[in-house]
Amino acid sequence: MKTLPIETPVKSESCRQMIESRVTACIAPDRYLLTSGRIARPAISCVVRPAVGDLVLAAAGGEDCHILHILAREEDKAAVICVPDARELRIEQENLTFIARQKIAIQSLHELEFACAGTLSQSALNQFVHVAEALVESFDQHFSRSRICTQEASEILKMHGAQVLLSAESDLRADAERITMG
C-alpha cells in the first residue's frame, strides 16, 4: 500500500502568496480592487459576494489573484450569496428551512415557480394577493370557509355550472334594477 505525503512540495515559480487585504472598490462584476493594489476575483468556494470594506484572505500568484475567504465585514451590510461563474445555484437537502426574524422576500424578473408532489400549506395572519393582469385557478374541488365572504366586480361577476345551488338559513336576497330569471 502506497502512503501519500502530508505535504506536497510546490515549485517556487507557481507558489501562491496568501495576503490579508481590504476590498476598496468593486471595479467590475466579480472584480475587486484590494488595498494591496491587486485586482482580485472571488474563488468558486467564496460564495459570499465581497463588499467594499471587507477584510479578505486572498491567494496571489503572478498576475492572478483570488479572494478565498471574507474574514470580517462591517456590521450592517447584507450578505449576498453568489457562486462565481455559475449559471444556477441549487440547494439540495432532505429538509430545508428558512427563518427570518423580520421578512423573507423572493423576487424574480421573469418567472417564479413553486411546485411540490405533496401538500402545499400556507399559514398567515393576513394574506394579500395582488395580480396586475389575470389570476387563473384550476382545481378538481374548491372548498372555502369564512365568517364573512364578499365578492365584488366592477363590471361582470359570473357563476356558471351544470348545477348551481344557492341556499341560506334565513334570507336569500337579490337586489338590482332588473332581475331576470329563467
Query: 51 near 41, Cβ under 8 Å?
Result: no
Instruction: Give the whole-angstrom CA distance, residue 180 versus residue 182.
Output: 7
- Angle at alpha carbon of residue 63, lines to 60 and 65, rounded to 5°: 35
Domains of the chain: 14-72 (2.40.50.140)
Q: Where are the alpha helices (DSSP H) in the chain?
A: none
Q: What would the DSSP string read from start to end of 45-69?
A: T--BPP-TT-EEEEEEETTEEEEEE
**pLDDT at position 3, please?**
55
pLDDT in tens, the chain (182 residues): 555 454 444 444 557 899 999 999 999 989 999 998 999 999 999 999 999 999 999 999 888 899 999 999 988 788 899 998 888 999 999 999 999 999 999 999 999 999 999 999 999 999 999 999 999 999 999 999 999 999 999 999 999 999 999 899 999 888 899 989 87
pTM beyond 0.85, yes or no: no
Query: 50 near 67, Cβ under 8 Å?
Result: yes
Place of cell 332588473: 178
Rg (CA), the chain: 30
Beta strands in 112-168 (DSSP E): none
Q: Which amino acid is at 125?
A: L
